[in-house]
Structure formats: structure tokens, C-alpha cells
Amino acid sequence: MNSTAQIVPNPHDALAGAQFADRYLLVTEGLSLTALGAAERALGQTPRWVGRLIALRNLAVRPFRLKTGLEPAVLPAGKIGIFPLLSQLPGKVVLGLDDWHLDFRVLVEVRDLGMGRQEVAATTIVKTHNWLGRTYLAIIMPFHRIVVPAMLAQILSK
């Protein structure tokens, strides 16, 4: 897998006031993916070890009444994995959730590079609202840096 992390040039386009953004890239060959298809391959199912981390996270945040992603989607577009689908455009889907401690967006974008190659980008953007959001973000960041590339790598294994 050829995956690299980048800082997102302007996260405010997807979430005004965001304090954190990162972007992971993957180059594919011969898959002809749409953004929705790439999002479903990357986020539709989680590796077992990621599922365990999410279950642990959900137990830890229960006393704070944070959303877990297990709530039913109220959006007509539904969900991809645990992430509510907020919008879909050609080449880009936006997933995310707003909560009282922070809001986040996950953008999955597909760009054709020619000769059967595509660049798939997964961008995470976070806007914290209070001390709990800032603390939560600091605690999950080391896991985020491992989980997002692992989820993106699933595109190549399906």
C-alpha cells in the first residue's frame, strides 16, 4: 500500500472553525472506484481490532453521553459503517456527526490519475466545542493515526 499523510490545505470548506484536519492518500490501480464505492470499501466494515477499539471507546464515553455511531441514522442518505452520510457529490462523499463536545467530518474523495490509476483521499476534519472535545481529540489522536490508514487499506483488499 502506498499511503501518505498530509495536512489539509483548507479544512474550513467542510467544517467552519475546525481546529484539526489530516488527510491520508492511497493510489489504486484498475479498480474504477466512485467516491461512494471507495467509502463503502474503506468504512463499511471495520477490521476486528478496530471494532474492539471502537467498543472500548463506546464504553469509555458512555458516562459523558457522547454519540457512539450506533444511534439510528435520521438522514435520508443513511450510513456507511457507523458514519452518517451527509452529502454525496461526484468524486466526493462527506460523512460526519455533530455532538456537544465536537463535530467531525470524514471526506472520501476519488481522483482519476489516468492509465487506470486513482488517488483515494480520506480527510478527517474536527471542530471541538469545549474542554471535553479537546481532551477527547488528544486521547484518540494516536489511535486515529493508525486506524485511518488501516481502514483506507481495505480498499485494496476487497
pLDDT by 10-residue block (mean), the chain, 158 residues? 51 79 95 95 88 80 70 65 88 92 95 96 95 93 94 90
CB atoms within 10 A of CB 29: 10
Separation between Cα atoms, residue 147 and residue 158, nearest integer Å = 17
Predicted pLDDT at 75: 53
How much is the pLDDT for 1?
Answer: 47
Number of Cβ within a 10 Å radius of residue 95: 23
Residue 45 C-alpha cell reads as: 466494515
Q: How far is CA 158 from the centre of its chain?
A: 18
| DSSP single-letter state for residue 34 | -
> What is the predicted pLDDT for the residue at 76?
53
The model's pTM is 0.83
* CA 148 vs CA 3, 48, 90, 107, 129: distances in Å: 10, 14, 22, 12, 23
> What pLDDT score does 31 carry?
94
